[in-house]
Structure 1
Amino acid sequence: MEEAIKAEFEKSGFSIDQDDHILDRLLTYCINYKLTPSDLVSNWEIYYLNRQLNGLKLENSHMDGFLSHLQNEVKEKLIKEEPHLHIYSSNDVEMLLNSEPDDREESFLDTPSKYERPYVENSASTPRANEKPSSSKESKANSTRITPFGQRINKFTSQFVFNAHNMVDGSSRQEVEDIEDDLIRRVQPGPRCSLQVHLSQPEPGCRFMYDRIEDRFNSLENRIRKFSNLFAASGLYGELADATLASQKNIFAVGLIICDGEGHLNEKSILLQGSVEHSGGQRVRLDLSNLTHFSLFPGQVIGIEGNNPSGHCLIASKVVDYLTSSSDADLPPAKKPAVNQEARLSSSSESKVLSVVIAAGPFTTNDNLLFEPLQELLAYARRKQPQLLILMGPFVDSDHPDIKKGTADQSFGDIFHLEILRRLQDYNEYMGPGVRVILVPSIRDANHDFVFPQPAFDINLPEDSTQQITCVANPSLFSSNEVMFSCCTVDILKQLSSEEISHNPPDMQSADRMGRLATHLLRQRSYYPLYPPAVGVPLDFSLAPEALEILPSPDVLLLPSDLAPFIKLLSVREGNEEEKRCMCVNPGRLAKGIGGGTFVELYYCEDVDNTNASIIRI
């Protein structure tokens, strides 16, 4: 029999590790479950594909999981034959010992879940003391399901530390000894942080899909005109000229980078579109062969110095994509008093110290809708007790396989309220009034408006939760304890990465590309400077054009992306002068495939030099 089993595995392309115990166990499985060698191999192939195992060798470490698979197959077969049969398991014993009379009777009558063996969480991952039960009976049943995410070994490993030399100072505030009593920490919560939302447009319930060609033209023209006025006011480059006119002299012009074809931008397809005021909106081809370095993308507004001897091609000698100016110059007059007044009010009572946990969706793995990564994140936040928790969409991801196929047994709104909002309400109730949560939507949210700029979630919360959960638009500008945050959940970094062309001299080949892409947003003073927008981005210029402007220089710029997570210090310079410095954070995705992803824990203290942050893999 053992030889037959071995031969059947080899026939299917699998090999068995040189261990007699493996064949003995496989023989036992055949006897106990009345399987032929071919049936056993068929079950192994199903288990191998579902678990996405590597290699074709059957090892001893696979046997326990394979046994659970066989047991589940037998149980499902029995349940189909006898629908009212309940197979008792360790879950029933655990439920009786934990004294949960409310759900006991109903649980006995329910059909057991596919995976019966309970998943015992690490005690360091989820606090047990005074923890509220889950909000729904379904979540209790699902908590016993074994998933690849639940079987991971390493939890909350630090992947990268920003300003590691400051961790000694910040660790006393950030890290809490595991032996400290949880009840004491809850009785003595940290100070409640302030929160001011400076820009969150458009408003919920706005009308969209009314974008006109006129709106798009006016938006681009206003960007060119704004930069033209700044260059002219500086007095550094002389009078602005029309780049389309033939001239033997060097001129300085301002315009928008355009590609002359359907494909990606390249050095031979770059056009400069001037403003209506200076060139009637005409375009001229650019020759960049004389430049030692440049970084350009479609939609970028630049100042360019050069000459156009033929009238058909502007030969560039210098490109200026940023002009030094005070941040107040960028603020509309109506916005200046409000922001300044809030700053004065907060500066009198608040210090620029803040502890934050930052995470971006998806918040569940793509093999289920159990939202296990979100549950682990909230468990981590319960232990570390940050003052502010920033969660960025997608929350109900439209790219999730179950959402795409329409196999979810709840509406998108119900999933959002049951799996996201209820967990957050439990988290707030557990943590007390000293914690704040900010929710930022994404265009990938299946339960929200598909438009960009995107209004905030319009949700009805109890009065106590309203004081702790704040919904802002995408993009948005808000501050907490005087720390200014700018946030945009559209993956602009990934889109710029595919559209940008750059050239560096040989001694600058190791330049930081991710930092350069993020710096483009600050230089262009826009959350989305790319034009035309990437496929799948519902950019609507009729909705609050000022919503896309990065007004003051932020302390922290949040740009969640599918690209590798990072924490970088951005400096926008004009010459040798350092004009703007801010921290750019890409927390990555909390869930990736069937496993966990990353999030960021940040401790801001007065300025970026004294700030430390960590990218943590969940």
Structure 2
Amino acid sequence: MDDQLITRFKRTGYELDARELVLKCVSLAQQFDLTAKQFAEDFETFALNRKIATGLVNGGHLDAFSNSMNHKKRKRPPTEADTLGWAGNSWNDVEPDVLSDTSNTRRSRTTPAKAAKAVVMAPSPAITNTTSSSFSQRTQKGQVFSTLNAHLHFDDEAQVQYLDGRIGDFAAAFEDATGCHPSHPVYAACQEPVLMVGRICCDSEGRLNERSVLLEGSIELSNGMRTKLDLSKLEGFKLFLGQVVVVRGINPAGACIVAHQLYTAVPKPVVQTSLGQMQHFAQATGVKGLSMVVAAGPFSSKEDAAYEPLQALLTHCTTQPPPDVLVLMGPFVDANHPLVQAGMLEESYEDVFASQVIDRLDDYLDSAGSSCHVVLVPSTWDVHHHPVFPQPPFLPEAVPTRHPQQFTLLSNPGTFACNEVVVGVVTSDVIKHLSGQEVQRGPQGDRLPSFAAHLLGQQSYYPLYPPASGSLLDCSQASNLQLPVTPDILLLPSDLNPFAKLVPVRAPPPQGADTDAGVVQTVGQKAGRQH
């Protein structure tokens, strides 16, 4: 039982580091007739109620726990068995002839000594035949009134692998960038500053704040344990749930990490384009360079399904020199459209998409010529497509076009290249979701670009966890959220105010360096290093 107790305590965040404490726990478990699992769970409940921080358990904690269990035992009301005289006896003590009656009648309970004279009581007709007429005549029998996240498939193993994998990937990227490995467990005491890596969590349900921040370590380095994170010594920070960070700090007693520095961004490298490739692209596009038009749905007004906004966009593109690339992001057949919600469309969703969107794009390509390319990105609000995130691209058979060579069907999120320019796009409103979860200290500045910077620094198109309501995140496919490279242009449709700005991302300095290096993301030119 000794090893079981030690293992169970570690899983709850507590540790028994002395042999005498383990023996004392074994004695108490036997005293209260508890298994190792029950004892550890009861101690965890006691510790949470008494606000005992996770970490090492001492003798005083066990004494207080023993007193609490004894108090509960004294307060326990007598059971029915105690009242009727069955306490301390078993069925083996009952006369065999008493148990020989196999009828369905209820038997009055007596002491074993009087069991032979027990009287078998017949059931009361008034009890067995009583039926509530209102209950039997109910009209909503078996009806489900509300279901939470019925569309989601919960896979605990996939969720654990996704979250733990993000911590491991961030730690590896940090080591590659700095030469330092953040290997110290989050729960282990240390008096000198060390590097620890983990995921930002909240100590309770609700919105994150400065006093509720926990750091959850990886399974490999920290057994997945969480420790309170003290941010009082930091001049500024920007944190959100699910963010992976490297902390430089101390943990005096093993129960609270005092952060001295936070490293929250390790961006992926940008794609390098050779001089020969640049010359080739320049000759292909000429002096005008590469042009791109980007638009996000919905593409129809709420009053009808005539798709006039989409037609106006395509008309604009034909009256001007046609763009080389037209990027259209869903929703194309919006699940929130009043006609969709009311079921008043005269065609199927797939037919609406084909006739109102694809046919118009075919007409546009007829006039724009073969040099124009269309990129389609779905949305989780597209009622004719899979409502899951990450989201697969539209199937080719769902896009009945006359110009299949001029269409690129992209996933959500997705990354594509236009000559030397790498573009990243995600139609989930990650900017809005982050704006409702971020806690920060320091100069405010322009918050919207900083939200976009989180994606680049965390190497993820959706770094927030738990995800926002309605995001439809499927952890079994979450590997598709990872940024393959740092894009030159990041497209993030949002209900918040539109913006087109540079997004600075501060990377951790290499070991021994006295200056910070950052990646500046620009629109229309290659990203470069800024010192």
**Which digits, 9 at most, give the CA deviation of each residue in 1:560-597, with x for residues without a partner?**
1111111011122336544322247xxxxxxxxxxxxx
Distance 1:405 1:366, change over 3 A: same
Q: In the alignment, what sits opposite 1:482?
A: 420
- The answer to which structure has the higher strand fraction is 1
Higher relative contact order (CA 8 A, sep 6+): 1
Output the amino acid matched with 2:168: R
Distance 1:532 1:564, change over 3 A: same
**Residue in structure 2 matching 1:355, options 291, 306, 325:** 291
Tell whether the 8 Å contact from 2:358 to 2:400 is kept in structure 1 after alignment: no
Distance 1:209 1:546 in 2: 17
Residue 568 of structure 1 aligns with which residue? 501
* Alpha carbons of structure 1 residues 315 and 381: separation in structure 2 relative to 1, 3 Å: same
Query: What SS is found at the alignment partner of 1:413?
Result: helix
8 Å contact 1:343–1:482 — kept in the other structure?
no
CA distance in 1: counterparts of 2:154 and 2:165, whole angstroms: 16
1:452 equivalent to 2:386? Answer no
Are residues 361 and 324 of structure 1, via their aligned partners in 2, closer, same or farther at CA, if it must alter by over 3 Å?
closer
1:243 paired residue among 173, 180, 186: 186
Amino acid at match of 1:556: I
Q: Summarize the Cα distance change of 1:372–1:325 in structure 2 as closer, same or farther, 3 Å threshold.
A: closer
The SS at the match of 1:533 is coil
Structure 1 stretches of 4+ moved >6 Å = 342-345
Q: Does 1:422 align with 2:356?
A: no
Residue among 533, 551, 571 paired with 2:467: 533
Paired residue for 1:254, among 168, 192, 197?
Answer: 197
Give CA-to-partner distance per residue, 1:246-267, whole Å, 9 cap, x none. 2222221000001122211111
User: In the aligned structure 2, how far is the partner of 1:348 from the partner of 1:269?
Assistant: 54
Q: 1:579 to 1:344 in 2, by over 3 A?
A: same
* Distance of aligned partners of 1:454 and 1:262 in 2 relative to their CA distance in 1, 3 Å threshold: same
1:554 corresponds to? 487
SS class of match (2:318): helix
Query: Whole-Å Cα distance in 1 between the matches of residues 215 and 253 of structure 2?
Result: 15
SS in 2 for 1:290: coil
Equivalent position of 1:279 in the other structure: 222
Describe the superposition over 1:311-331 as per-residue Cα deviations: whole angstroms up to 9, x where unpaired: 221111111112376458xxx
Whether the aligned pair in 1 keeps the contact of 2:354 and 2:400 (CA below 8 Å) is no
Which residue pairs with 1:472 in the alignment? 410
TM-score by length of 1: 0.56
Would you say how many aligned residue pairs link Structure 1 and Structure 2?
A: 365
User: Who is 2:520 aligned against?
Assistant: 581
Compared CA separation, residues 345 and 533, structure 1 to 2 (3 A): farther
Show CA shifts across 1:496-535 (max 9, x none).
000111111xxx33x1100110000000000010001111
Name 1:395's counterpart in structure 2.
Answer: 332
Partner Cα distance (2:379, 2:183) in 1:
40
Does residue 495 of structure 2 align to residue 495 of structure 1?
A: no
Measured against aligned partners, the alpha-carbon deviations of 1:307-351 in whole angstroms (never above 9, x if no partner) come to 1223221111111112376458xxxxxxxxxxx9x9899656323
- In the alignment, does 2:315 pair up with 1:372? no
Q: Distance in 2 between matches of 1:426 and 1:464?
A: 9
- Matched position secondary structure for 2:500: strand
Q: Which position in structure 1 is the counterpart of 2:451? A: 517
State the match for 2:246 in structure 1. Answer: 303
Amino acid of the structure 1 residue aligned with 2:224: G
Contact 1:210 1:542 (C-alpha < 8 Å) held by counterparts = no
Work out the CA distance in 2 between the residues paired with 1:381 and 1:288.
Answer: 51
SS of the equivalent of 1:284 reads strand
How far apart are the structure 2 equivalents of 1:463 and 1:444? 22
Q: Which amino acid in 1 is paired with 2:459?
A: R
CA distance in 1, matches of 2:268, 2:197: 17
Deviation at 1:542, TM superposition (A): 1.8
After superposition, where does 1:188-207 map in structure 2 within 5 Å? none
Q: Residue 542 of structure 1 is aligned with which of 458, 470, 476? A: 476
Q: Which residue of 1 aligns with 2:171?
A: 228
Pair member with larger Rg: 2
What secondary structure sits across from 1:427 in the alignment?
helix
One-letter amino acid matched to 2:518 = E
Change (3 A) 1:231 1:484: closer
Cα distance, 1:495–1:383 mapped onto 2, change above 3 Å: same
Provide the secondary structure at the position in 2 that maps to 1:479.
strand
Does the CA-based 8 Å contact 1:259-1:271 persist in structure 2?
A: yes
SS in structure 2 opposite 1:566?
coil
Inter-partner Cα distance in structure 2 for 1:412 and 1:583:
38
Counterparts in 2 of 1:306 and 1:608: CA distance versus 1, 3 Å: closer
Across the aligned residues of Structure 1 and Structure 2, the Cα RMSD in angstroms comes to: 2.4
Structure 2 unpaired stretches of 5+: 1-150, 510-514
Change (3 A) 1:448 1:462: closer
What does 1:115-130 correspond to in 2, within 5 Å?
none
Equivalent residue of 2:211, what SS? coil
In the superposition, relative to structure 1, how do residues 566 and 401 fare at CA in structure 2: closer, same or farther (>3 Å)? Answer: same
Measured at CA, do residues 476 and 317 of structure 1 come closer, stay the same or move farther in structure 2, by a change above 3 Å? Answer: same
Instruction: Give, in whole Å, the separation in 2 of the partners of 1:364 and 1:235.
Output: 50
The alignment partner of 2:386 has SS state of coil
2:116 maps to which residue? none
Is the 1:441–1:454 Cα contact (8 Å) retained in structure 2?
A: yes
* 1:6-25 pair list within 5 angstroms: none
- Deviation per CA, 1:360-379: give whole Å up to 9, x if none: 00111112111111111011
1-structure distance, mates of 2:318, 2:277: 27
Cα displacement string for residues 184-226 of structure 1 (whole angstroms, at most 9, x for unaligned residues): xxxxxxxxxxxxxxxxxxxxxxxx9655111110011111111
Shift of 1:236: 5.4
Contact 2:193 2:250 in 1 (8 A): yes
Q: Matched residues in 1 for 2:425 and 2:241: separation?
A: 22
- Aligned partner of 1:496: which letter? L
Tell me by how many angstroms 1:475 deviates. 0.8
For residue 376 of structure 1, what is the amino acid of its counterpart? A
Structure 1 residues 234-284: Cα deviation after superposition (integer angstroms, max 9, x where no partner): 555565211212222222100000112221111121110001121111000
The answer on whether the counterparts of 2:198 and 2:244 sit within 8 Å (CA) in structure 1 is: yes
In the aligned structure 1, how far is the partner of 2:499 from the partner of 2:476? 33
Cα deviation per residue 1:453-488 (whole Å; 9 max; x = unaligned)?
A: 111111435674101122111111111122111110
2: CA distance, partners of 1:239 / 1:283: 16
Query: Percent identical across equivalent pairs?
Result: 39
Specify the SS of the correspondent of 1:568. coil
Q: What TM-score do the two structures reach when normalised by structure 2?
A: 0.65
Deviates more, 1:224-233 or 1:417-426: 224-233
In 2: Cα distance, 1:291 partner to 1:577 partner? 17
